Structure 1
Amino acid sequence: MRDFSRSLPMGLLRAREAVMRHFRSALRRYDLTEQQWRVLRALSSVDEIEAADLARSTFLLAPSLSRILRDLEARVLIRRRVPQEDQRKSLIAIAPEGIALMEIVAPHSEAIYADITRRFGADKLAVLQDLLRELEREMNSFGPNGEEGQ
């Protein structure tokens, strides 16, 4: 078995933590968690989205997303509505206050991205993002037991 520190999941987690450490301090200034920011970012790219689709796109479990949505709704950063045609669904949209907050936080986020790019290098960052997308595609083309097409 390979050394624990050389396992792919641990390497990805270490890299994620190293990157997120820089973003968390900026988010904390605006009383946002990284998961709340992830939800706001996802909502900023759509007019409205069903809660289950939002959970999938943000890689959040439904119970965690429910709590996050409740907190964001209490802060009037999002709006939630139940469509007349299907009372079981919950449609979520970013509120004007959420857009305003994103406009305040975004320059901090972009400054962090600029710093990461400066330190790591634009070319290496582009290659890394391409490799991560390629790894994701490959892993998604196989089932959990390594069987193709699952």
Structure 2
Amino acid sequence: MPESTPSLTLALLQARESAMGFFRPLLNRYGVTEQQWRVIRILRQTPDSTLESREVADLACILRPSLTGVLGRLERDGLVKRWKPETDQRRLCVTLTERGEALFDEMSKEMVRQYELIQEQLGPENFRTLMQLLRKVQGLHPGDPGPHT
């Protein structure tokens, strides 16, 4: 029987689960889901902490219908504000509130420590290489011939 090709998608999912093991306890302690944290982080790292909801969905890798619920809970908890610009009522913008920014600032120190633990276990060079390779994988497009064709 021929050896099967390793599953890239399965390996990525398993690696994600391993990495999330470093962060889930912290998210649980603060009562924030993984999706909520991704939204908070993306908004906080945006210059004015404001994006259109479709941009948030794309950057956070959350399907738009699911994002509606995530944003609703974040708004209920006072962490984000949703609003429509007067100039274009079709757009829905999302802004991180002061409370959301404070939560990010409070959690980020502990999140950085978890990244440091991952880097310690992988080694700094392996961590840099991993991040470079992941950026390359993110840039892949089906049907595009690669440089090695």
- Give the TM-score normalised by the residue count of structure 1: 0.89
Shift in alpha-carbon separation, 1:86–1:116, aligned structure 2, 3 A:
same
90, 93, 112: which one pairs with 1:110?
A: 112
- Provide the identity percentage: 35
96, 100, 103: which one pairs with 1:101?
A: 103
Q: Which residue in the other structure is 1:9 paired with?
A: 9
Shift in alpha-carbon separation, 1:3–1:43, aligned structure 2, 3 A:
same
Distance (whole Å) between structure 2 residues aligned to residue 147 and residue 32 of structure 1: 38
Distance (whole Å) between structure 1 residues aligned to residue 114 and residue 3 of structure 2: 34
Letter in 2 for 1:27: L
Unaligned runs of 5+ in 1: none
Shift in alpha-carbon separation, 1:110–1:147, aligned structure 2, 3 A:
closer
Offset, 1:2: 6.0
Unaligned runs of 5+ in 2: none
Distance (whole Å) between structure 2 residues aligned to residue 8 and residue 22 of structure 1: 22
Shift in alpha-carbon separation, 1:147–1:130, aligned structure 2, 3 A:
closer
Offset, 1:136: 2.2
- Give the TM-score normalised by the residue count of structure 2: 0.90
Distance (whole Å) between structure 1 residues aligned to residue 128 and residue 66 of structure 2: 31
Q: Which has the higher contact order (CA 8 A, sep 6+)?
A: 2
Deviations 1:53-74 (A, max 9, x none): 1111111101111000000000
Q: Which residue in the other structure is 1:77 paired with?
A: 79
Offset, 1:135: 2.2
Q: Which residue in the other structure is 2:18 paired with?
A: 18
Offset, 1:107: 1.3
Q: Note the 1:1-150 alignment, pairs <5 A.
A: 3=4, 6-46=6-46, 47=48, 48-137=50-139, 139-140=140-141, 143=142, 146-148=143-145
